[in-house]
Structure 1
Amino acid sequence: MTRTALAPPARTATRPGLALAALAGAQLMIALDFSIVYVALPGIGADLAVGPSGLTWIVNAYVVATGGLLLLGGRATDLLGARRMFLLGAALYGASSAVGGLAGDAGVLVAVRAVQGIGGALLFPAALALLNGTFSGPARARAHGMWGAAGAAGLCCGSLLGGVLVHAFSWPAVFWVNLPMAGLLVTAAVLAFPADTPTRAERGLDARAAVSGTAAAALATLAVTQGADHGWWQTGTGVLIAAAAICAAAFVLAERRSPRPLVPRGLLAGSRGLLPVAAVTALYGACFGAVPFFLTLHFQQVQELTPLATGLAFLLPALVTAAATQATARLSGRWGVRPLLLIGALAGAVGALALAATASADGGYARLVPGLVLLSIGQGAVWTAMWLAAARRADAAQQGAASGVASTALQLGTALGLAALTAVAGLSGAAAGTTSLSSGITAALLTAGGCLVALAVVCAVRVRTASPDTEELS
C-alpha cells in the first residue's frame, strides 16, 4: 500500500473566482455540445436533404474525434501548457461553430463536428489540469463540485436548450450558441490564468506513440459506433476492430521504447496507478452515460412527449445531479472518495432498477421520480469523486496526462455501454410498437443497474480510504 497525498497547486490564478467560472463554463459548453445537436437533427435532415446515415455521421464525427484525441490532448496539456491548450480548444469550438451555423451541406457539418470534437479533446483535459493545478485541499473539492454541477446542467439541459433554440430560430442556432460562450471562455482564461512557461526540454513528444495511440483510440471509438449502427458482423466493423488492435499494439511497442512516452511511465500501473480510476470512469460512462439515451426514447417515443417537454422532464435529474456534486465535494474532505464512490454507485444501481420497474407506456412521470432522483444522486456523487481520485494519483506535472487517460476511458466506456445496452434493448424491433420498445428500454435499465453494482465492487476492491486528504490505493 502506498499513501498518495493531494498534489499541491502548480499555479496561482490571478482571479480565482473568474478562473473557476471559466473552468465551469468550459465543462458546460462541452456537455451542452454532446446533446444539443440531437434535437436539431430532424431540421438538418429536412433542410439539407440528409438521410439517416448522414445524420449519424454528424453525431459520430464529434464522438470519434474526441475519443481519439483525448489522450494526446492530455499529454499536450502537460508538455505545452494547460492555459495554451485551454485557449486553443475554446477557439476551435468558436470557429467551428461559426462555420456550422453557415453550413449548406452535410459534409461541412460533419467536418464542423469533428473540429468541435478536437476542441473538446483539448479543452477537457486542459480544464481539469488547470483546476487541479490552481486549487488545493478543500478548495479543490469545492471547485470539482462546481465544475461537475456545470457538466450535469449541460448534459441534462442540452435537449431543453436545443428544443428552445430550434423552435425559435431553426437548427443553425445550436451552433451559434457556442460563439458567445467560446468568446467568454477565452477572455476569462486570459485574465484569470498566468501564462504557461514550459521549458524547451519538456516539449518532446514521441511521434510514433502519438500517431499510433490517437489512431487506436479513434478507430476503437469508430468501430463501436459502426458496430452499434450497422451490425457487429459486418465486414467494415471487423476491419475497424482489427485496425484498432494493430494500432494499439504499435502504441504499446512505441511507448515501451520511447524516452518520451505519451503516457508517463508509472502513471497506469503500480500502487499509485491510474488503471482502477480508468476502470471506474469507463463503467461510469457505460452506465450513467448511456441511460439518458434510453430515458429520451422513453419520453419521446413511448410517452410521445415533444422535444421541449422531454427537455423539461430532464430538469429534475439536472437539479439533483448538480446538488449531489456539491454535496460530494463538501463530504470528500471528511470521508474521502471511496465511501462516496460506493454510495454513488449503489444509489445509481437502485435508481436504474427502480426506473426499470416503473418506465412503462401507461405510467406517468410521477412514477419515475424516485428512480430519477436516486440515479441522479449516484451520477453526481460518482462524477465528482472519480475526478478527485484521478487528481490524487498524479503529480502536478502529470495532471493533463491523468485526465487524458481517465477521460479516454470515459469516452470509450460510454460508446461501448451505449452499444451494448442498445443490443440488449433490441431496438431494431422497436418498429413493432411502443410495447416492444418499452420492454427493450426496461431490459437496458436492468442491465445498467447490474453494471452499476459491478462499479460498486470495483470501488470497494480497488480504493482504500486512509484519511480525508489521502487515499491508500491498492
Structure 2
Amino acid sequence: MTTTRRHPGWTLTLLAFAQLIISIDYNIVYVALPEIGSALGFSAHSLQWVISGYAVAFGGFLLLGGRASDLFGPRRMFVLGLSLYAASSLAGGLAWDPWVLIAARAVQGIGGAFLFPATLTLVGTSFAEGRERNRAFAVWGTAGGSGMILGSLLGGVLTDAFGWAAVFYVNVPLATIAALCALPLLALDAVRRAAGRRFDAAGALTATAGTTLVVFALVQGPEAGWTATPVVLAAFVGIALLTAFAVVEKRGADPLTPPRLLRHRNLTTAMAVTFGFMATLGTLLYFLTVYFQTVHGYSALRTGLAFLVPMLAIAAGSQTAGRLATRYGLRPTMITALAVAAAGTALTALPMATDASYISLIPGLVVLGLGQGAGYSLMFGAAGNGVPAQQQGIAAGLASTTQQIGGAVGLAVLVAIAGPAGSVDGLRDAMFAAAAAATATALVALRFSRPARQPAAEAAPATRGRDAVGAG
C-alpha cells in the first residue's frame, strides 16, 4: 500500500492517536447535549440528531472511504479524513443554529468514514504478520476502546469548565497536529491507478446512499417509531439501493466491493463478529450511563470518573490480547475474549439496583473491560488477515460498516428490552440480553480458520507468530 516504511514506533503512535480522536469524538458530545439543546434552541426531537447526524454519515460513507483508500492511497485518505475532522469541529464550535451544528456533525462523520478505513489499512500493511502486527493492533485497540470511555470523561470536564463548544474545539488542534505529523511519518502512497482500473461511480453511489438510508432508519426508528413514514420509506429505498448495488458489483469490471471478497471466510466471519460485538458489548456504555445518571443521579463529571475502572481494564485487555494471539492464535483468543466479556456483562448486571454501591459493580466492570478490550483489538485485525494489500481498505470499510449497523440494531433492540428510561429492572434485563447475545457471538467466532499445522521442530518462534495471525 505504501512505498517505504518509516519510523515504525512513531507511525504506530500516530495511528493510535488518530483512532483515539475517532473514539473520543464518538462519545464526547453525549454529556454536553443538555447544554447544546438549551444554547441553540434544539427541540426535544431534533436534539438526537447531534448524535445521529454523525452516526448516519459515518456509517453511510464507510464503503466509499474504504475503496478510496485502496484506489488513491491510505496516506491521502488519512490526511483528508483528519482535515475534515478539524474543519467540521471548528464549524461545530462556532454553530449558531441547530441545523448548522447537525451539518457539521455530518461532515465529522464523513471525515471519520475516510479516516477509519485508512487507519486500519495502514496498521494492517505497515506491520508484518505475526507478533509485530498483533502488537500493533493491540496498541490501536487500546486507543480505540479506551477512547470511547475517555470521551465521556473529557466531555464532562470540558463542558463543566468551558461550555459545550469546547467539546468541538478540542478536536481542531488534535486533528491538525495528526494530519501534519502524517506527512513526514507515513510513507508515500504507491501509484494506485493501474491500467484498466477505474472508480466505480455507480457502486459508490448506490452503496453510499443505500447504507446511509438504512442506517438512518435504524437510528431514527426507536425515536420516531418503526412504522413512521420516514423510517419505512428510508428502509425500503435503502434496501432497494443496496440490492441495485449488488447487481452493479456483480456486473462491474472493477467493482467497489469485489464479489469474491465476500467469499473470504475470515473476512465474512470478522464482519459477523464485529456486528455481534457492537450490537451487544458496544451498546453497554449507553446503559451504564443511564444507570449512573438517571438511577443514581451522577453528574456528567462523576459519570466520566466512574468509567475510569473499565477504561483501565480495556487497556489491559487490549495489550494482553496481542500477546495471547501471537502465542495461541487469533481464533481461540477471540473466542475467549468474547466469552469473558459476556461473563463480565452478566456479572455487572447482577448487583444493579437503586441502592447498589459503585463498588459492587467493580468486579463485573473489570471482567467486562478485559474482554471488551481484547475483542475490540482483535476483530478488526481479523478482517484484514489474508486479504490482498490492494483490497485492505474495502475490507476495513466492510468491517466498520457492520460495526455501525450492528451498534444501531443492537441499541434499538436492547432499548426496547429495557423499556422505560431509568427502570433498573429494564436496564438489568437489557444487560443480561446483551450477555446472552455476546455468548452467541463467541460461537460465531468458531468459524475463523485454524492456523496451519507445522511439525514442532519447524515451528520457530517467528513462524508461530505468523501462524497466529493466519488463524484470522
Q: TM-score under structure 1 normalisation?
A: 0.94
Instruction: Give CA-to-partner distance per residue, 1:374-395, whole Å, 9 cap, x none.
Output: 1111111111221221121312
Q: Deviation of residue 406 (structure 1)?
A: 0.4
> After the TM superposition, which of the residue ranges 337-346 and 454-463 deviates more from structure 2?
454-463
Gaps in structure 1 of 5+ consecutive residues? 1-8
Q: For the Cα contact (< 8 Å) 2:3–2:188, is it kept in 1?
A: no
Aligned to 2:246: 252
User: In structure 2, which of residues 208, 213, 226 is the aligned counterpart of residue 214 of structure 1?
Assistant: 208
Residue 127 (str. 1) matches residue 113 (str. 2): no
What residue number does 2:290 align with? 297
Give how far 1:463 is off.
3.9
Which residue does the alignment assign to 2:277?
A: 284
SS in 1 for 2:191: coil
Look up the match of 1:140.
Answer: 133
Cα distance in 2 for partners of 1:304, 1:98 equals 32
- With structure 2 as the length reference, what TM-score do the two structures score? 0.94
Contact 1:18 1:188 in 2 (8 A): no
Matched residues, number: 458
| Residues 473 and 316 of structure 1, relative CA distance in 2, 3 Å threshold | closer
Distance 1:232 1:50 in 2: 23
Query: 1:213–1:248: 8 Å Cα contact kept in structure 2?
Result: yes
In structure 2, the CA distance between the partners of 1:191 and 1:473, relative to structure 1 (3 Å rule), is closer
Q: 1:332 aligns with which of 301, 325, 333?
A: 325
Residue 235 of structure 1: which of 217, 222, 229 is its match?
A: 229
Q: Who is 1:265 aligned against? A: 259
Range with greater deviation from structure 2 (105-114 or 272-281): 272-281
Find the counterpart in structure 1 of residue 61 from structure 2: 69
The residue matched to 2:292 in structure 1 has which SS?
helix
Contact kept? 1:213, 1:251, Cα under 8 Å? yes
Name 2:199's counterpart in structure 1.
Answer: 205
User: Equivalent residue for 2:434?
Assistant: 448
Partner of 1:346: 339
CA distance in 2, matches of 1:163, 1:472: 42
Q: Does 1:191 align with 2:184?
A: yes
* 1:408 Cα deviation from its structure 2 partner: 0.4
Is the contact between residue 13 and residue 19 of structure 1 (CA under 8 Å) also seen in structure 2? no
Matched, 1:164 2:150: no
Which residue pairs with 1:466 in the alignment? 452
Work out whether residues 101 and 172 of structure 1, in 8 Å CA contact, stay in contact via their aligned partners in 2: yes
Aligned to 2:255, the other structure's residue is in SS state coil
Q: For 1:461 and 1:25, how far apart are their aligned partners in 2?
A: 32
Q: What are the Cα deviations for residues 289-329 of structure 1, in whole angstroms up to 9, with x where unaligned?
A: 10110000000001111110000000011111011101111
- Aligned partner of 1:45 in structure 2 is 37
Residue 98 in structure 1 maps to residue 84 in structure 2: no
- Which residue type is aligned with residue 412 of structure 1? I
Percent identity for Structure 1 against Structure 2: 44
In the other structure, the counterpart of 1:78 is: 70
Instruction: Show the counterpart of 1:4.
Output: none
Deviation of 1:460 (Å): 1.8
- Cross-structure match for 1:413: 406
The residue number in structure 2 matching 1:398 is 391
Amino acid at match of 1:68: G
Deviation at 1:200, TM superposition (A): 2.9
The partner residue of 1:89 within 61, 81, 85 is: 81
How far does residue 473 in structure 1 lie from its aligned partner after superposition? 7.0
Render the CA deviation track for 1:57-95: whole Å, top value 9, x for unaligned: 111010000000111100110000000000000000001
- Whole-Å Cα distance in 1 between the matches of residues 206 and 387 of structure 2? 24
SS at match of 2:231: helix
Q: Distance in 1 between matches of 2:289 and 2:160?
A: 18
Query: Relative to structure 1, is the Cα distance of residues 197 and 464 closer, same or farther in structure 2, using a 3 angstrom cutoff?
Result: closer
Contact 2:70/2:394 (8 A) holds in 1: yes
What CA distance in whole angstroms lies between the structure 1 residues aligned with 2:374 and 2:471? 19
Q: Are residues 383 and 204 of structure 1, via their aligned partners in 2, closer, same or farther at CA, if it must alter by over 3 Å?
A: same
Task: Tell me how far 1:288 sits from its aligned partner.
Answer: 1.3
Say which is worse superposed, 446-455 or 388-397, in terms of deviation: 388-397
**Quick check: 1:152 aligned with 2:138?**
no
Of stretches 310-319 and 346-355 in structure 1, the one that deviates more from structure 2 is 346-355
1:18, CA displacement in angstroms? 1.9
Question: In the alignment, is the contact (CA less than 8 A) between 1:96 and 1:112 conserved in 2?
Answer: yes
Letter of the 1:190 counterpart:
L
Name which of 108, 113, 134 aligns with 1:116: 108
Q: Which amino acid aligns with 1:455?
A: T
Matched residue SS, 2:450 = strand
What one-letter code is carried by the residue in structure 2 that aligns with 1:150? A
Q: Compared with structure 1, are the counterparts of its residues 273 and 328 closer, same or farther at alpha carbon in structure 2 (3 Å cutoff)?
A: closer
Whole-angstrom CA distance in 2 between matches of 1:411 and 1:205:
24
**Aligned: 1:387 with 2:380:** yes
How far did 1:273 drift? 5.1
Aligned to 1:5: none
**Could you say which residue in structure 2 is the equivalent of 1:311?**
304
**Offset from partner CA, 1:405-451 (integer Å, 9 cap, x none):** 0000111001100011001111xx33xxx5xx111101100110010
Unmatched tracts of structure 2, length 5 or more:
454-463
Change in Cα spacing, 1:163 to 1:472, as seen in structure 2 (3 Å) is closer
Instruction: Determine if contact 1:35/1:159 at 8 Å carries over to the other structure.
Output: yes
Larger mean Cα displacement after TM superposition, 309-318 or 355-364 = 355-364
Alignment-mate amino acid for residue 228 of structure 2: Q
Q: In the TM superposition, what is the alpha-carbon distance from 1:197 to its structure 2 partner? A: 2.8
Query: Whole-Å Cα distance in 1 between the matches of residues 351 and 285 of structure 2?
Result: 15
Matched letter for residue 175 of structure 2: A
Contact 1:86 1:126 in 2 (8 A): yes
Shift of 1:112: 0.4
